[in-house]
């Protein structure tokens, strides 16, 4: 469910008057995405996505996000491109919310990840990192290491109701990850949330999936580039039964490395970055799990999926012990 804010026809009509997109043809809520309200918008000018930014997005970050998407799109990355209004401004207001119209991207996100998705994913991620190099401005990663202790505090009172002993284990693992966290790796603009539902694919000429779009840049930030790889290793390379799929991980790393060769320090740091990424999703899911009221219209994602991944990566001292 991703329509939190309803838009009246009058408000929509007035909003579209600010754009040179022709007349409205259709307007439908999109089921996907959890942070913002998304609508499929069709006008005489074509297909677009209208996003209303909900309260979990800090409005002060929006110019940075939209600027990044514009910057990346101008460098050939297939990502949503903010559409400016007649006055040149892309960030506007609708139904009392910050709002923007972005270009529509073709493609389908993979409901079941196959090895054939992972190679194009790695190449697309490297291209994203390279294209972001000259994007000015720094957005700290609010969900990076400094954000984890407060998240854990927020779940301390009720976390053990999810699994007995969970909080004690997380205290220990968080301390280990923070102690091992690297300080000096190549930094840049990262996506930070590149899960399968944020990557669209279409079959290429030979039928193999090709990346047709990367979406949802609202966790993007300035951090270690290799951390994005760690997020993808978590999100793309485990099977539903919890097994780590080395073949997928090799495909992902291989094409990434071919486009942006990993430094030895990045390779050495990847296992702890993977632990950190697992912890980040574990902590936000745990927080949501323990703070979402019963009956809320949000899918609560299982935090324990990421406890299993965290434990898995905690057993790996190096990439080679992961089979990589």
Residue of the chain from 203, 204, 242, 315 that contacts its own copies (CB under 8 A)? 203
Rounded to whole angstroms, the Cα distance separating 234 from 223 reads: 17
Residue 205 interacts with its own copies (CB under 8 A): yes or no: no
- Of the listed pieces 121-129, 165-173, 184-192, 201-209, which binds its own copies according to CB under 8 A? 201-209
Q: Which is nearer to its own copies, 24 or 178 (CB)?
A: 24
- Of the listed pieces 23-31, 118-126, 141-149, 254-262, which binds its own copies according to CB under 8 A? 23-31
**Contacts to its own copies from residues 161-180, by CB under 8 A:** none
Give yes or no for a contact between 106 and 194, defined as CB atoms under 8 angstroms apart: no
- Of the listed pieces 54-62, 109-117, 130-138, 153-161, which binds its own copies according to CB under 8 A? 109-117
Residue 1 interacts with its own copies (CB under 8 A): yes or no: yes
CB of 68 to its own copies, least distance (A): 23
Residue 200 interacts with its own copies (CB under 8 A): yes or no: yes
CB of 7 to its own copies, least distance (A): 6
Total number of residues that touch its own copies (CB under 8 A): 42
Give yes or no for a contact between 37 and 3, defined as CB atoms under 8 angstroms apart: yes
Rounded to whole angstroms, the Cα distance separating 128 from 191 reads: 8
- Which pairs with CB-CB distance under 8 Å and at least 24 residues apart come from 21-25? 21/45, 21/48, 21/83, 21/101
Query: 149: buried, middle or exposed (CB in 10 Å: 19+, 13-18, 0-12)?
Result: middle
**Contacts to its own copies from residues 24-43, by CB under 8 A:** 24-32, 40, 42
Q: Which residues contact 226 (CB under 8 A, 6 or more apart)?
A: 185, 186, 262, 266, 269, 270, 273
DSSP 300: P
Give yes or no for a contact between 36 and 57, defined as CB atoms under 8 angstroms apart: yes
Residue 3 interacts with its own copies (CB under 8 A): yes or no: yes
Residue 22 interacts with its own copies (CB under 8 A): yes or no: no
Give yes or no for a contact between 321 and 272, defined as CB atoms under 8 angstroms apart: no
In 3D space, the residue among 219, 221, 209, 215 whose CA is nearest the CA of residue 103 turns out to be 215
Q: Which is nearer to its own copies, 106 or 137 (CB)?
A: 106
| Residue 264, H or E segment | helix 264-291
CB of 51 to its own copies, least distance (A): 13
CB of 209 to its own copies, least distance (A): 8
**Contacts to its own copies from residues 43-62, by CB under 8 A:** 47
CB of 100 to its own copies, least distance (A): 18
Rounded to whole angstroms, the Cα distance separating 228 from 220 reads: 10
Rounded to whole angstroms, the Cα distance separating 229 from 255 reads: 11
- Of the listed pieces 19-27, 60-68, 216-224, 314-322, which binds its own copies according to CB under 8 A? 19-27
CB of 110 to its own copies, least distance (A): 6
CB of 77 to its own copies, least distance (A): 18
Q: Which residues contact 222 (CB under 8 A, 6 or more apart)?
A: 137, 138, 139, 140, 141, 187, 188, 189, 190
Q: Which residues bind to its own copies, rule: CB under 8 A?
A: 1-3, 6-10, 12-13, 23-32, 40, 42, 47, 104-108, 110-112, 200-203, 209, 294-297, 299-300
């Amino acid at each position: 469910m991703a329509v939190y804010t309803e838009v009246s026809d009058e408000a929509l009509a007035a909003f579209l008057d600010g754009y040179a997109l022709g007349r409205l043809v259709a307007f439908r809520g999109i089921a996907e995405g959890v942070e913002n309200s998304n609508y499929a918008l069709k006008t005489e000018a074509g297909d677009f996505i209208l996003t209303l930014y909900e309260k979990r997005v800090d409005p002060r970050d929006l110019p940075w996000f939209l600027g990044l998407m514009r910057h990346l799109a101008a460098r050939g990355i297939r990502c949503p491109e903010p559409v400016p209004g007649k006055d040149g401004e892309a960030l506007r207001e609708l139904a009392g919310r910050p709002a923007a119209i972005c270009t529509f991207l073709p493609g389908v996100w993979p409901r079941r990840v196959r090895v054939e998705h992972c190679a194009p994913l790695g190449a697309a991620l490297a291209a994203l990192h390279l294209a972001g190099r000259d994007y000015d401005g720094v957005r700290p990663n609010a969900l990076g290491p400094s954000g984890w202790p407060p998240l854990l505090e927020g779940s301390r009172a009720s976390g053990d109701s999810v699994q007995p002993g969970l909080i004690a284990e997380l205290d220990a693992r968080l301390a280990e990850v923070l102690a091992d966290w690297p300080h000096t790796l190549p930094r840049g603009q990262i996506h930070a949330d590149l899960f399968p539902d944020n990557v669209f694919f279409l079959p290429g000429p030979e039928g193999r999936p090709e990346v047709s779009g990367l979406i949802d840049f609202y966790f993007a930030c300035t951090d270690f580039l290799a951390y994005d790889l760690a997020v993808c290793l978590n999100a793309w390379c485990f099977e539903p039964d919890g097994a780590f799929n080395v073949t997928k991980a090799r495909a992902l790393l291989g094409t990434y490395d071919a486009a942006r060769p990993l430094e030895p320090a990045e390779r050495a740091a990847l296992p702890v970055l993977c632990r950190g990424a697992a912890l980040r999703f574990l902590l936000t899911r745990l927080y949501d799990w323990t703070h979402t009221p019963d009956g809320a219209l949000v899918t609560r994602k299982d935090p324990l999926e990421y406890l299993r991944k965290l434990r898995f990566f905690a057993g790996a001292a190096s990439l080679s012990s992961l089979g990589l």
